Amino acid sequence: MQFHLHADSIMLTGPGPGAVLAGGLFAVSRLSWQWSMVAEVFTLNNLFVGLLFFLMASFHCAENSRQRRKITHWGAFCCGLGLCNQHTLVLYVLVIVPWVLSRLHALKELPFLGLVSLGFCFIAGFLPYIYLPISSYLSTARWSWGDQTTLSGFLTHLLRAEYGTFSLAKAETSVSLNRMLQ
């Protein structure tokens, strides 16, 4: 897909040589293949970022309010789901959401119930967080970040208070970094 910049809008056109070349180079990239077998949050985060950009472009090109409403609901759901995976997505969400809401407001397509509906879609995307306290209580969340059976432990994980420390493994007693790596 190519983007053509005009003074007042972005038009999407069909695939051209640049898009085919970019996709082909990405497909045969050694680094892409090397990391394709690693279970890591960053790759999934990239998927959500790409999905949000796709939804944003689709929203911009939507021909009527029904299409925009459908796209915004999927976007709200993907924002919630993506934030369950990696909080750095908030950097994109903080730009995209105000833009979408301002466009809807300008088009007079943002009633109060529509805003509530978008909120519910976001919360539906955020539902995987329900699994954390349940799995922590059942002791099935091995190597989870802390104890999410309490509200304090859940908020510690949700707000990533332990991120960047060496306290990343769930244990009843203190575990040294050396022992944890073994």
Who has greater pLDDT, 112 or 129? 112
Q: Structure tokens of 100?
A: 């979408």
Q: Which residues of 143-169 are buried (b: 16+ CB within 10 A; e: fewer)?
A: ebbbbbbeeebbebbeeeeeeeeebee
Beta strands in the chain, from DSSP E residues, in sequence order: 2-5, 10-13
Domain spans, the chain: 40-125, 131-181
pLDDT recorded at residue 21: 83
pLDDT recorded at residue 68: 96
Least confident piece of the model among 23-37, 71-85, 87-101: 23-37
Q: Does the pLDDT at position 16 exceed 60?
A: yes
Whole-angstrom Cα distance, residue 117 to residue 72?
Answer: 10
Q: pLDDT per residue over 32-70, tens digit each?
A: 777 777 777 777 888 899 899 999 999 999 999 999 999
pLDDT band at 102 (very low <50, low <70, confident <90, very high): very high
Least confident piece of the model among 57-66, 78-87, 160-169: 160-169
Q: Structure tokens of 40?
A: 């890591």
Whole-angstrom Cα distance, residue 139 to residue 133?
Answer: 10
